Structure 1
């Protein structure tokens, strides 16, 4: 009996019906002819209560629920979750599905209304967007089934506890892999270079398209096919590509729910995956006041998995970056010339001045690409209209900060350091473009 009490809830019409009968009893103090009507309605209502409870708990109503979730969630992406509901009774049922979501998603009450025919199965889908790496624990699934009269509801609980991990964006990695190796990659911003390098190791013969080097036209093949054909050459392989990620406090700045560190992690995974498919070696260094993860460049099959696991555990630190330690670590782990993508954020010229001597030293030994971020909120503020003197002052300060970013970009270019200044949401696209560009020009 106590078990059933835990499962029973008041339906949507219950309080309305009780309130209406109580109102009639109150009115009967003045108009006595309403008293027998209120008594009759209360008896009818009590009978309906018993009928609704009997139908819900008589053994004819049975509902089961199950959940399907991906093996891993992709950070910052929409991940689909499927709920499978079974109505095992012969009655048509109206219900509300309540799923216990992980606490990190911050959904206080997730509900899905559903109407099901007797002896049927239904699927309902929803998406979640995790913005933190870590383990996400789902709880049970509750089905609140309304009785035919809608006076009471019964809760059916399906034990469906499950845990999944949120890793750096696997979806984004696959998306950019597809774009980078697709013939139509230019449609979405990823530059597809037909001339893949300056080495002359023959790969294959392809039809001529606009932009191909006319010096590579194969006249014999063109005569046979009656169309222009060009020789295609491979790039140099087994070059070392390092993703170097700064974890100082400036990388904690949020954008679109993710920190700048998370954006850098997603991008480094996407670029490393493409580099592996280009037969290059990939490595990783994370640093702040001390060195975090270090992976020596390799193109073994397990290297991508090692990279994902290393990125999964990274967190921002409330410290300043130690560039001396970075230079020393790079010299130890990468003795030969490599392509180094440095993900960092400079919010003031002083921060760049402190780092610039070390960046110049690194760029002498490696092909260094410094990637830092625009402050999108500041740039939006500079475009807003000022309504008073205080607003003019604030907009002037915002414009000064935006100009400082451009000045830092110019300063790095003057030092002959490859540089990308980008919005966080365009980081992956621009970094992949830069990798393909450098690869195509044979600068690595």
Structure 2
């Protein structure tokens, strides 16, 4: 029974049997052709028997292994690989089918390879999850054939593995690496010209192009001057440190809209993870607060070594029913739990001016006690509609309605800025870069 279950017949066999059927029908009219067809059928059956022996005479004729990380990064292309090793003494064409978790809804994961005797190969591919949670991988099915490719023997490996999909830690590492090497501009992070500087003196160092000439230390320059050359020395000041930075994530119904497979909530979660890591790298204290119809989880601002792991675990376990958001509960919680003036990055979404005005009293109260930055989203599909020319009357009406929604988004930005509330209106895919840009800008201007 085990042999029968692992034995598969290829399409070539069915085509050959169909061909023999046609030949037998023709031989009924041409009797001289019948012996030739019978001999061909016997040879074909012998070939099937030989293939069966070749495939099953070796107990472990093939080996495969799926290499998958212990956790996957949500919204990113995660690299996976399948290791193949041929133990047969002949060239083996193989077909590999990887049983992916049902969340991916993919039915095209079929890889083909050709291995020489004792050869090893690695098949590499990528997966992009769009939901956090646990993903259950099935078996790796390898169908091994002989060079004739009449029969297949199925091998199964990696019988089930559960992998957790976390918020975008790959993006977090990428930003952290570029921040450490001062190359954030490669990801669209702008260099902010400093209007001034903090009063925290760091060191005296040689002048480099781009330094503020007002920071030249003439006494130190005089001491470094010799008969041949003059070396300008400047005072170097460091950014103020240990400033609390909180990411406030709205889990209400306004964050349910999907863009490129991810909900706005997951975009906000990924951006919060990256920003928290950058804040800790800049010696600030990162914290987190989630809310919807009630207050969710809160992580107090800190920059201890385990803070990022704590934030990552909290973000991974976020669940919501996308109900109506309670901003009054948010304000009450912040007032009692966050006593020190902090930078509050509120990730939410407003579609209309009236929706924003309903929450404006609470936003203004928060802006009086903290530096509030409201981050909400531009509808990229609406932007695509507005950029395309109208072809008929219906499209003109649609573009008119789209222009109204687009105008309201801009009105929301202006009205919030009138009350001293910082804002970011961004496309979902640009959320992380724009948020980090704004954080560095506020920090460079000494606003936090």
Cα RMSD of the aligned pairs, angstroms, is: 1.9
Q: Which deviates the most, 6-15 or 426-435? A: 6-15
- Separation in structure 2 between the aligned mates of residue 205 and residue 37 of structure 1, nearest angstrom: 97
- Separation in structure 2 between the aligned mates of residue 195 and residue 38 of structure 1, nearest angstrom: 89
2:90 and 2:146 in contact (8 A); partners too: no
Instruction: State the shift of 1:285 in Å.
Output: 0.9
Matches within 5 A, 1:21-170: 21-59=20-58, 62-170=61-169
2:52 and 2:151 in contact (8 A); partners too: yes
Q: 1:240 aligns with which of 220, 244, 257?
A: 244
Matches within 5 A, 1:10-409: 10-59=9-58, 62-193=61-192, 198-219=197-218, 220-221=220-221, 223=225, 226-409=230-413
1:97 and 1:141 in contact (8 A); partners too: yes
- Separation in structure 2 between the aligned mates of residue 63 and residue 163 of structure 1, nearest angstrom: 24
- Separation in structure 1 between the aligned mates of residue 153 and residue 195 of structure 2, nearest angstrom: 65
2:58 and 2:88 in contact (8 A); partners too: no
- Separation in structure 2 between the aligned mates of residue 175 and residue 114 of structure 1, nearest angstrom: 33
Change (3 A) 1:117 1:133: same
Query: Helix, strand or coil: the match of 1:308?
Result: helix
Change (3 A) 1:61 1:19: farther
1:13 and 1:151 in contact (8 A); partners too: yes
TM superposition score normalised by structure 2: 0.94
Structure 2, unaligned runs of 5 or more: none
1:141 and 1:158 in contact (8 A); partners too: yes
Query: Helix, strand or coil: the match of 1:28?
Result: helix
Change (3 A) 1:293 1:195: same
1:429 correspondence with 2:433: yes
Change (3 A) 1:69 1:204: farther
- Separation in structure 1 between the aligned mates of residue 76 and residue 140 of structure 2, nearest angstrom: 24
CA deviation vs aligned residue, 1:24-68 (integer Å, no higher than 9, x gap): 001122222222222111111111111111111122770011111
Aligned positions, number: 443
Query: Helix, strand or coil: the match of 1:328?
Result: helix
1:4 correspondence with 2:6: no
- Separation in structure 2 between the aligned mates of residue 27 and residue 334 of structure 1, nearest angstrom: 90
Query: Helix, strand or coil: the match of 1:372?
Result: strand
Q: Which deviates the most, 216-225 or 301-310? A: 216-225
- Separation in structure 1 between the aligned mates of residue 208 and residue 379 of structure 2, nearest angstrom: 39
Change (3 A) 1:159 1:181: closer
Instruction: State the shift of 1:274 in Å.
Output: 0.9
2:95 and 2:110 in contact (8 A); partners too: yes
Structure 1, unaligned runs of 5 or more: none
Change (3 A) 1:207 1:107: farther
- Separation in structure 2 between the aligned mates of residue 312 and residue 294 of structure 1, nearest angstrom: 13
- Separation in structure 1 between the aligned mates of residue 86 and residue 217 of structure 2, nearest angstrom: 67
1:197 and 1:233 in contact (8 A); partners too: no
- Separation in structure 2 between the aligned mates of residue 117 and residue 326 of structure 1, nearest angstrom: 64
Instruction: State the shift of 1:160 in Å.
Output: 4.2
Change (3 A) 1:207 1:102: farther
TM superposition score normalised by structure 1: 0.95
CA deviation vs aligned residue, 1:390-415 (integer Å, no higher than 9, x gap): 11111110111111111111111111
Change (3 A) 1:140 1:47: same
Instruction: State the shift of 1:193 in Å.
Output: 4.8
Instruction: State the shift of 1:196 in Å.
Output: 10
